Structure 1
Amino acid sequence: MRLVEFWCIFIIIILANILEPGKAEVYIVTVEGEPIISYTGGIDGFEATAVESDEKIDTTRTSCSELVTSYARHLEKRHDMLLEMLFDAGTYTKLYSYRHLINGFAVHLSPEQAETLRHAPGVKSVVRDWKVKRLTTHTPQFLGLPTGVWPTGGGYDRAGENIVIGFVDSGIYPHHPSFVTYNTEPYGPLPTYRGKCEVDPETKRSFCNGKIIGAQHFAQAAIAAGAFNPIVDFASPLDGDGHGSHTASIAAGRNGIPVRMHGHEFGKASGMAPRARIAVYKALYRLFGGFIADVVAAIDQAVHDGVDILSLSVGPNSPPATTKTTYLNPFDATLLGAVKAGVFVAQAAGNGGPFPKTLVSYSPWIASVAAAIDDRRYKNHLTLGDGKILAGIGLSPSTHFNQSYTLVAANDVVLDSSVMKYNPTDCQRPELLNKNLIKGNILLCGYSFNFVVGSASIKKVSETAKSLGAAGFVLCVETVSPGAKFDPVPVGIPGIVIADVSKSKELIDYYKISTPRDWTGRVKSFKGTGKIGDGLMPILHKSAPQVALFSARGPNIKDFNFQEADLLKPDILAPGSLIWGAWSLNGTDEPNYIGK
């Protein structure tokens, strides 16, 4: 080590011991020196073969594997030495060493220590960790896969053979039919992939089964930040959210899996590459999303393990505040390294639409994917006693054919006026309503603000109606915020959402006219009637493909001030709305599907 470099470090050590430490946080540090993917040898007597751009590292070759292992240890040792020279033991915690795609590490220390690191020789950048958020039966036919792509790959039972897709997401529910291996041709070993399989701490069984070829979880940054709860987040690859299982099944789920809910079969689902292998790198969690430090560690490991494709349904909560361009940060630099390693990277564009500059996938070197609608719709209708037919949304069975039912509004059958603070009109609490007046009738409910920001769900409306013996339910939307979307939710009893505000007004007007009241406003008798149609069958429209309302839009932005960058994004459009796919029994990502 040169004398001047030693002197600089000596001064920094003194300053580090003088400064009063603040609250510790996680920082991602990049240092000088090439990572494995671009290293060409020549430092400290170490030599390694050069890796050509866009050429995947063949870690199965003995010579290459030994070089990779040696250089990885060399980099990690340098990371440890830097921290040990600057700080006293016990004043910091190194969480990860990044060696394959970027040269750096994640460390939990005080802001003052981070500032010391920032000025240390050989340190390129110090960035405070930031958070990320988690961003099908007919889809293969819509995309033309059965007659186009699948036959060229040997048919649906061969499409995706020997391809490993790495999913950096919320984990997987391995027991779902989309991922099990019974009644399938056995999956043989795949020497090109060397990822490991964690064991479920509860059952002591591996998460892997041949179809699932790798399963690991990354939570060191979440733990250091105090956000991780092992009881609900699961310290394993098990999916506690639902999102990871869903995306894995869409890309690589088995073909011909029956989709059944509430006793009705909606068809048979398939992944787009049904024979592909699934490698799970859990870095997202149900309550808080995730942290970049964990995501970078997951990507670094996935590329080292030998995945062919990286699927990232994850994006930053906001643009990085400390870089001059959105894609010059440790996360996007890691993605560049993955591409240089020969891995195809696809990242979700984000769900911030329909407004412009909402994109959260900034990298020029990866495929940013916007969400499209396909040509399948689930529509339903409510027929009133005066003959009017009101269009709505409802994945539900119909009421009995040719039979009309009395309409009863929830706010007219409240048991106790003192419970109005619970907003009984949204039909989330059956104990607030008079079962004797609702039984056998259609329950009218109101779409409150609790559906937007609270825990209210259509599933709970359905459960309330069923527990009270209602023949069905109607959810009226009287006001709607810009950009709101209403997706059909499968329910077991007749039900419909009147999402059009003008149609809801027609229903309310009809109910008022046909419901006589006394001078106090109390209902004397319920006279309005209606019947709910069958919403279980899809209708195919020719309007697709169109960008989904929620899908993020470009253009790409240059920096935190949302200045436009000279880069068009997203790159491609793919179906991403109303997709049938797997879910986790532990899933909480969507209140309408908890426990499904």
Structure 2
Amino acid sequence: MGIYICAIVTKRIPINMKTNSIVLLVFHSLFLFLGESSSASHNGVYVVYMGAADSRNSSLRSDHAHILNLVLRRNDNALVRNYKHGFSGFAARLSKEDAASIAQKPGVVSVFPDPILKLHTTRSWDFLEYNSHVIIDSDRNTLSNSSSSSDIVIGIIDTGIWPEAASFNDKGMDPVPSHWNGTCITSKDFNSSNCNRKLIGARYYPSPGGDDTLASSVRDSVGHGTHTASTAAGSTVSVASYYGLAEGTARGGFPESRLAIYKVCSEFGCTGSSILAAFDDAIADGVDVLSLSLGPSPSFHPDLMTDPIAIGAFHAVERGIMVVCSAGNDGPYPNTVVNAAPWILTVAATTIDRDFQSNVVLGGNKVVKGEAINFSPLSSSPEYPLIYGETVRKSDMYIDEARQCHQDSFDESKVKGKIILCNGESDTLYPPTAIADTVKQAGGLGLVHITPDKNRGVASKYGDFPATTISTKDAPTLLQYVNSTSNPVATILPTVSVINYKPAPMMIYFSSRGPSTLSNNILKPDIAAPGVNILAAWLGNSTEEVPKGKKYSPYNIISGTSMSCPHVSGFAGRLKSLNPTWSASAIRSAIMTSATQINNMKTPITTDSGSLATPYDYGAGFITASGPLQPGLVYETSTVDYLNFLCYIGLNTTSVMVISRTVPTSFSCPKDSSSDLISNINYPSISISDFNKKGGVVNVSRTVTNVGEENEIEYSVAVDAPSGLNVKVIPDKLKFTKTSKTLSYQVIFSLTSTSLKEDLFGSIKWTSDKYTVRSPFVLAK
């Protein structure tokens, strides 16, 4: 039997790219082709999902055992994984016909081919504190740097861990919590002593095919998992940097927390069956927060019952575990956000107030700002010949190819010893690192690369090679100088870290955008957090070239929603520690309703292209460090809300009863279930789709719970609505008492015009003398 493959190569692998990008593009296409042909003509691994593991209906448990035994009788080697802790089901090698047959049996919710998901890839915490616009007079107002420990366990489902990294030391921590049920699985390169009072759990899941590096150990061979784990929960390390850049104190969002590692990914991706196994184990182990910086491609649209992350997260949240996921790296295009189930906290990515500048100095000491990470050995004086790529092209190459510095486009005799100016304003095929490799291989001394403004913000890494990128707005200065000077000269300065950079945060181009293809009636992403040029722990054996004169760096700087996700995961762990009785939805609500939409210039947050950001970009806004600690009110999204959501998207009562372990025996799907009702789920944001088709008037309701220190408190409502829209809130005041801690309100949206011409954005704020609780709303035409 073969392995069913739906392969998706990661777009942004957080390592230096030395491979020609055309080869990568062909490789990417080849894997997609192989995936399609495998699904059509080969047997493979299928996931059989059978809902709750401890359903009150004993016949369902019998169904699981019967179907599993049936599979094993046919083929002893068919079983790949068995899910029995957090939910029921298994993964097995099945023929297409057997998979279809099993899907019809009682107790089976869904059967689907095992997909391969992709990875979505320290000043950031200081920036979160400094950029907090909600100031509360409280001892809990800042992030802690103490060496104490907490019993909160943050689980990282990723590529494993490099346990020797300083970020995972357990100095000053108490013994492992008594409630912890997990384990550290050993291997030839990972023994029991690699776990400690910080790293208390480590599991890995061999590939169903048994033929890749994922099978051998929990040790990280990619770096991604180590980076995300240290961002979420790394211990405080006083001196950290990337070869001297971004120097400072490194710490995770919750340094006092414990870590549990679940390795499900290799450099080739993450199998859905392994992700489900990790969720199953994590639920039984006793984690409090789960962080997943991975997900499907936006071109792959699994429904909720065939999406491994959505399935696993549902059962985790049902048991009180917070699940935080990255939104994806396929922006700035709309409808690209993934991990959009309403029980998941979905995180977009922003810049922080640190920039990595590598400037170009022209003859006459004219300075042009550049962005890159390099350790240029060139003189600071502009003494090196500077030429435009199109002037040194081979005679048989198109001028556009030489202008953009494509491979094999140069007459190398004219390139050697010179800094090459390449114009990549319209080049979408070759990334800057590939252009640098081309120039270097042709004998060039350095590279100045003009890149579209929308692609700036992420500093590419070039090692010792003098290379930098400049924006299109600065391009005329360079081009005029090169074209009007008989012997143009320049130099490229080594990178310096610039802090207090403004404006920040900005929404970065790669961060996936809403609205969600899962449902336009739930706003996704939920929140934005730092995800650009983030410094965190790395592998101890990386093959990345060490700059001359430098010692190997145990830290790395990479970007992606993979990096923004653990920022929120760590903060969620802190909130859980301070408020152990809070549900996952209460924690999500606290983070969302206290978010800011203002940058460090005290103006509205923009995208990196300069346009105003909207809730489709950042959800509720940018996470703050102080507001979530005392949110005042929270929106509790109950399990019944989630069950109703399943009804609204088309599942019937029988299926819902099988899926949930806590479903009331009296539960049944509403008779008039429709996707429109999703807008009424008690979510911290409001999203209404197809507004024009609903007669121009829509009424939604919400319920809030007082979690503030005051039993007696009154809130007043304030609405920020665009012109052409009336928003009426009933009542306009909420008076909480000792006996009335939960109150509801209605919102009536109506148009003053005949129809929406474009999607509208606004917010509803409940304010008291001490708290502000903000919910964004979106009305889609």
Is the TM-score greater than 0.5? yes
Contact kept? 1:416, 1:432, Cα under 8 Å:
yes
- The CA distance in 2 between the partners of 1:580 and 1:22, in whole Å, is 45
1:111-150 aligned within 5 A: 111-135=96-120, 137-144=122-129
Aligned counterpart for 2:177 among listed residues 179, 187, 190 = 190
Deviates more, 1:367-376 or 1:542-551: 542-551
Q: Is 2:52 aligned against 1:43? A: no
Aligned counterpart for 1:529 among listed residues 479, 484, 489 = 489
Aligned counterpart for 1:229 among listed residues 197, 202, 212 = 212
Paired AA for residue 470 in structure 2: A
Aligned to 2:345: 367
Shift of 1:395: 3.5
Aligned to 1:208: 195
Shift of 1:405: 1.3
Aligned counterpart for 1:476 among listed residues 439, 449, 455 = 449
Q: Is 2:358 aligned against 1:385? A: no
Q: Is 2:327 aligned against 1:340? A: no
- The CA distance in 2 between the partners of 1:451 and 1:239, in whole Å, is 34
Contact kept? 2:243, 2:553, Cα under 8 Å:
no
Q: Is 2:512 aligned against 1:552? A: yes
Structure 1 residues 589 and 26: alpha-carbon distance in aligned structure 2, compared to 1, 3 A threshold: farther
- The CA distance in 1 between the partners of 2:161 and 2:403, in whole Å, is 37
Q: Is 2:221 aligned against 1:245? A: no
- The CA distance in 2 between the partners of 1:327 and 1:556, in whole Å, is 17
Q: What is the DSSP-based 3-state SS (H/G/I as helix, E as strand, rest coil) of the residue aligned with 1:538? A: strand
Shift of 1:113: 0.8
- The CA distance in 1 between the partners of 2:439 and 2:168, in whole Å, is 30
Contact kept? 2:50, 2:88, Cα under 8 Å:
yes
Contact kept? 2:46, 2:112, Cα under 8 Å:
yes
Contact kept? 1:133, 1:315, Cα under 8 Å:
yes
Aligned counterpart for 1:443 among listed residues 400, 403, 419 = 419
Contact kept? 1:435, 1:468, Cα under 8 Å:
no
Aligned to 1:457: 433
Paired AA for residue 511 in structure 1: V
Structure 1 residues 284 and 436: alpha-carbon distance in aligned structure 2, compared to 1, 3 A threshold: closer
Shift of 1:574: 1.3
Deviates more, 1:87-96 or 1:540-549: 87-96
- The CA distance in 2 between the partners of 1:415 and 1:151, in whole Å, is 62
Shift of 1:484: 3.1
Contact kept? 1:25, 1:108, Cα under 8 Å:
yes
Q: Is 2:471 aligned against 1:500? A: yes
Aligned to 1:349: 327
Q: What is the DSSP-based 3-state SS (H/G/I as helix, E as strand, rest coil) of the residue aligned with 1:547? A: coil
- The CA distance in 1 between the partners of 2:331 and 2:195, in whole Å, is 37
Shift of 1:504: 3.7
Aligned counterpart for 1:566 among listed residues 515, 521, 527 = 521
Q: What is the DSSP-based 3-state SS (H/G/I as helix, E as strand, rest coil) of the residue aligned with 1:365? A: coil
Aligned to 2:538: 583
- The CA distance in 1 between the partners of 2:176 and 2:490, in whole Å, is 60
Shift of 1:203: 6.1
TM, length-normalised to structure 2: 0.56
Paired AA for residue 117 in structure 2: V
Contact kept? 1:419, 1:432, Cα under 8 Å:
no
Shift of 1:366: 2.0
Shift of 1:130: 2.0
Structure 1 residues 89 and 275: alpha-carbon distance in aligned structure 2, compared to 1, 3 A threshold: same
Deviates more, 1:164-173 or 1:486-495: 486-495
Aligned counterpart for 1:272 among listed residues 250, 253, 258 = 253
Deviations 1:75-101 (A, max 9, x none): 5x8535314336753286121122233
Contact kept? 2:349, 2:529, Cα under 8 Å:
yes
Q: List alignment gaps of at least 5 residues for structure 1.
A: 1-20, 45-73, 516-526, 559-563
Shift of 1:535: 3.6
- The CA distance in 2 between the partners of 1:195 and 1:406, in whole Å, is 59
- The CA distance in 1 between the partners of 2:342 and 2:182, in whole Å, is 28
Structure 1 residues 534 and 464: alpha-carbon distance in aligned structure 2, compared to 1, 3 A threshold: closer
Q: What is the DSSP-based 3-state SS (H/G/I as helix, E as strand, rest coil) of the residue aligned with 1:392? A: coil
TM, length-normalised to structure 1: 0.72
Aligned to 1:26: 45
Contact kept? 1:166, 1:307, Cα under 8 Å:
yes
Shift of 1:373: 1.7
Aligned counterpart for 2:481 among listed residues 476, 488, 510 = 510
Q: What is the DSSP-based 3-state SS (H/G/I as helix, E as strand, rest coil) of the residue aligned with 1:144? A: helix
Structure 1 residues 273 and 188: alpha-carbon distance in aligned structure 2, compared to 1, 3 A threshold: same
Contact kept? 1:91, 1:109, Cα under 8 Å:
no
Aligned counterpart for 2:271 among listed residues 284, 291, 296 = 291
Shift of 1:172: 1.0
- The CA distance in 2 between the partners of 1:119 and 1:394, in whole Å, is 56
Shift of 1:251: 0.8
Paired AA for residue 360 in structure 2: L
Shift of 1:332: 1.4
Name which structure has the greater RCO, CA cutoff 8 Å, separation 6+. 1
1:389-468 aligned within 5 A: 389-396=367-374, 403-409=381-387, 438=417, 443-444=419-420, 446=422, 457=433, 461=437, 464=440
Structure 1 residues 327 and 127: alpha-carbon distance in aligned structure 2, compared to 1, 3 A threshold: closer
Contact kept? 1:169, 1:314, Cα under 8 Å:
yes
- The CA distance in 1 between the partners of 2:517 and 2:504, in whole Å, is 28
Deviates more, 1:151-160 or 1:338-347: 151-160
Contact kept? 1:372, 1:546, Cα under 8 Å:
yes
Shift of 1:501: 3.2
Structure 1 residues 402 and 252: alpha-carbon distance in aligned structure 2, compared to 1, 3 A threshold: closer
Structure 1 residues 179 and 463: alpha-carbon distance in aligned structure 2, compared to 1, 3 A threshold: farther
Structure 1 residues 150 and 577: alpha-carbon distance in aligned structure 2, compared to 1, 3 A threshold: farther
Task: Give the fraction of aligned pairs with identical amino acids, expressed as a percent.
Answer: 28
Structure 1 residues 506 and 327: alpha-carbon distance in aligned structure 2, compared to 1, 3 A threshold: farther
Root-mean-square deviation (CA, aligned residues, Å) is 4.5
- The CA distance in 2 between the partners of 1:173 and 1:449, in whole Å, is 39
Deviations 1:58-80 (A, max 9, x none): xxxxxxxxxxxxxxxx95x8535
Deviations 1:539-581 (A, max 9, x none): 31342233222111112223xxxxx531111111211112111
- The CA distance in 2 between the partners of 1:406 and 1:589, in whole Å, is 28
Aligned to 1:541: 501
Contact kept? 1:486, 1:499, Cα under 8 Å:
no
- The CA distance in 2 between the partners of 1:29 and 1:589, in whole Å, is 41
Structure 1 residues 444 and 343: alpha-carbon distance in aligned structure 2, compared to 1, 3 A threshold: same
- The CA distance in 2 between the partners of 1:234 and 1:432, in whole Å, is 47
Aligned to 1:309: 289
Paired AA for residue 231 in structure 2: I
- The CA distance in 1 between the partners of 2:428 and 2:180, in whole Å, is 43
Contact kept? 1:320, 1:329, Cα under 8 Å:
no
Shift of 1:491: 5.4
- The CA distance in 1 between the partners of 2:205 and 2:305, in whole Å, is 23
Contact kept? 1:319, 1:360, Cα under 8 Å:
no
Contact kept? 2:347, 2:527, Cα under 8 Å:
yes
Aligned counterpart for 2:169 among listed residues 155, 170, 180 = 180
Contact kept? 1:476, 1:504, Cα under 8 Å:
no
Shift of 1:166: 0.2
Deviates more, 1:245-254 or 1:153-162: 153-162
1:143-162 aligned within 5 A: 143-144=128-129, 155-158=144-147, 161-162=150-151
Aligned to 1:90: 75
Contact kept? 1:459, 1:491, Cα under 8 Å:
no
Q: What is the DSSP-based 3-state SS (H/G/I as helix, E as strand, rest coil) of the residue aligned with 2:538? A: coil
